[in-house]
Structure 1
């Protein structure tokens, strides 16, 4: 019986040994597999990452590739929106305007800040509409309200309202600004006749007129004209030989010009028209041409020679001469004779003021005695002319060809 037991034990031992070996192999395989999962050098790691790991890797790559861009944006902050402190609105706007017209627009500014000591306006773009008084000051009304009346001139049918900025300054530093709101303009072209003077105004008046001989064939007429809300500087007539504006003043809304026209001697009336914006129609005016034969009178002062003053002066001379004559006849003294002779000589000299003067070459002979007067003749050489009168450093002369003009007294050559 002993051999059989031994045989059984040996078989059991072999089975146990086989199972042990299988377990050892299994344990070794598991250990190797786990080490492969934890190894950073295997390709398997790159294929089974979690979503969190993938996002982390993506962010790292972006940071490496675009580090400068992302660093800049990372420190950028959005500034809070600035509170508006200037509110602009239009108070008076014309329903329509005409090409060439100067028209007013009243603007209201509500300024909800005290951080300024000066208000300025700047034309950013005119768009075919001139701003005439951009430098005028705003007028304070009350509290935070300011007003200003702007005067604009339309230059073109397709013009649009200019782009203007109201700016606030404190200690010469810009603190705030606001662009004027857009404004639609209804612009119309006038269909005028040949008498149209190019003037568009709410009113126009001829204050004075004077006509004198210009040369053998022509007259010169000078008009003093005043207008309101007008483009009076554009005054020009196509029905005269030659014309121009010698001086002009503008004090909104009024303006004044001294206009001259060279016309033929046979002219009886000077006719022109302007467009009245209040009546919405053309108005025609006629100036009767009356020639003043007194060459001593001045063309610059459109007031005719003060007849009352001249009369008083002549009467004074007459009374003095008569008194001296009576004294001379009664007392027959030399002193009265000398006084009488001197008074008569002075009276004759005043009545005949013409004298010859020498004028330098290249002297500009002006139509009127004003700084910006039109030059109608330049002396080609030294010439002699008849002196008529002197006013404010200007001398009225008669040229050898009979034309009358003005020169500066500095152009006279003293003998």
Structure 2
């Protein structure tokens, strides 16, 4: 094999030597073949930075409370004129939460600025440094690190009603209390907060069966959210406190448990259609009439009374005691109220059989098998 290759090479050299000038010029003008790449190393086109990256941070406090939202205003200065992306990382522990990872850099000449929000979960939280890298085509070509002065975090001297909220101000805008099912009430509170993270709102109240925070809107400077709690009807008030940063002390709020005007007990007769009082009393009334007619027949031998008793008794069994049923689709959201802005309180993980209680516009009120009641979009209900 080696001899054959050597022979071919000799023939090729001989051929090349014997070419005239015109043939050599044509041969030399032929573009290199892609096959030559098999004999060359791939050389990576790595971008090299042409300027330095300088980081700085505006003055900031060195002490915060656990649960307090605080910010650092970071600046990155560079004269790079190529397109690049920022990559941000921190030397911190898990007790410190970075709250706005989707924040965008703002350009001002050769300087880029960003506002970073953090929150300490306990007094052991640490943030030692911030690192910024510049990348092009997902390849980092420059990075810089900024050391921070130590931050200290102080615990709030909380009480049993502490809501885990630290804020400049927290207030209640609106409340609504209604039946959640045939045994429990649900209270919905619209909260407004200044300089706080309303996602943290949570009460350590053993009388609450379930609680959650939903629909947080706004930013950390000013935001609103809806808090909902489920509890037994014997609860008289919902009490909670928060730490006020302006007064440096706990502030307490108390909300009386009062059913909303359109959610009184009289409107809840359809909570469980199997035990619907109206249907029951209709049947009971007809049975009483039938019984009186039978008594009259026994003592007076009136066949007219007997006929009436049979007719009334027959009619009592024709009263519709059946309930309309359906199947809620998997993934359907159930709302507390039949409104667009109402809070979702459950999501069906699979198809669920329900009883249909009422309809309002494009919402259907349904009773789930676990006893809870909610409003679903009519498109999420299938006939059983």
**TM score, norm. by length of structure 2:** 0.60
Distance across 1 between alignment mates of 2:200 and 2:357: 35
Q: CA deviation at 1:406?
A: 2.5
Question: How many residue pairs end up in the alignment?
Answer: 272
Distance across 2 between alignment mates of 1:83 and 1:379: 57
Q: Which residue of 2 aligns with 1:235?
A: 201
Q: Which residue of 2 aligns with 1:249?
A: 217
Q: Which residue of 1 aligns with 2:120?
A: 154
Q: Greater shift after overlay, 370-379 or 226-235?
A: 370-379
Deviations 1:253-273 (A, max 9, x none): 333321101133243432111
Q: Decide whether the 8 Å contact of 1:86 with 1:177 is kept in 2.
A: yes
Q: Decide whether the 8 Å contact of 2:57 with 2:74 is kept in 1.
A: yes
Q: Which residue of 2 aligns with 1:77?
A: none
Deviations 1:255-309 (A, max 9, x none): 332110113324343211111223322111222333114249xxxxxxxxxxxxx
> Would the alpha carbon gap of residues 405 and 383 (structure 1) be closer, same or farther in structure 2, given more than 3 Å must change?
closer
Q: CA deviation at 1:176?
A: 2.0
Q: Which residue of 1 aligns with 2:53?
A: 86
Q: Which residue of 1 aligns with 2:235?
A: 267
> Would the alpha carbon gap of residues 359 and 149 (structure 1) be closer, same or farther in structure 2, given more than 3 Å must change?
same
Q: Which residue of 2 aligns with 1:110?
A: 77
CA-atom RMSD in angstroms: 3.6
Q: Which residue of 2 aligns with 1:358?
A: 325
- Rg comparison, structure with higher value: 1
Q: Which residue of 2 aligns with 1:386?
A: 357
Q: Which residue of 2 aligns with 1:220?
A: 186
Q: Which residue of 2 aligns with 1:7?
A: none
Distance across 2 between alignment mates of 1:381 and 1:233: 30
**TM score, norm. by length of structure 1:** 0.56
Distance across 1 between alignment mates of 2:191 and 2:86: 33
Q: Greater shift after overlay, 248-257 or 284-293?
A: 248-257
Distance across 1 between alignment mates of 2:90 and 2:183: 52
Matches within 5 A, 1:318-397: 357-360=324-327, 366=334, 368=336, 373-375=344-346, 382-390=353-361, 394-397=363-366
Question: Secondary structure of 1:246's match?
Answer: strand
Question: Within the alignment, does 1:174 sit opposite 2:174 as a pair?
Answer: no
Q: Decide whether the 8 Å contact of 1:120 with 1:168 is kept in 2.
A: yes
Deviations 1:180-203 (A, max 9, x none): 222310111222111101111222
Q: CA deviation at 1:357?
A: 4.0
Q: Which residue of 2 aligns with 1:281?
A: 249
Q: Which has the higher helix share?
A: 1
Q: Which residue of 1 aligns with 2:175?
A: 209
Q: Decide whether the 8 Å contact of 2:91 with 2:127 is kept in 1.
A: no
Distance across 2 between alignment mates of 1:224 and 1:387: 26
> Would the alpha carbon gap of residues 410 and 163 (structure 1) be closer, same or farther in structure 2, given more than 3 Å must change?
farther
Distance across 1 between alignment mates of 2:88 and 2:239: 41
Distance across 2 between alignment mates of 1:218 and 1:279: 37
Q: Decide whether the 8 Å contact of 2:163 with 2:240 is kept in 1.
A: yes
Q: Decide whether the 8 Å contact of 2:335 with 2:375 is kept in 1.
A: yes
Question: Secondary structure of 1:282's match?
Answer: strand
Deviations 1:365-412 (A, max 9, x none): 845368983339999974433124245xx5333569985323343442
Extract unaligned runs of 5+ from structure 1.
1-81, 297-354
Q: Decide whether the 8 Å contact of 2:72 with 2:116 is kept in 1.
A: yes
Q: CA deviation at 1:216?
A: 4.1
Q: Decide whether the 8 Å contact of 2:174 with 2:189 is kept in 1.
A: yes
Q: Decide whether the 8 Å contact of 2:356 with 2:367 is kept in 1.
A: yes
Q: CA deviation at 1:119?
A: 4.6
> Would the alpha carbon gap of residues 84 and 274 (structure 1) be closer, same or farther in structure 2, given more than 3 Å must change?
farther
Deviations 1:68-120 (A, max 9, x none): xxxxxxxxxxxxxx997222222141231222332111223333x23343451
Distance across 2 between alignment mates of 1:397 and 1:293: 21
Deviations 1:115-171 (A, max 9, x none): 343451322543232222233222234x43332211012133222115432123456
Extract unaligned runs of 5+ from structure 2.
1-48, 265-321
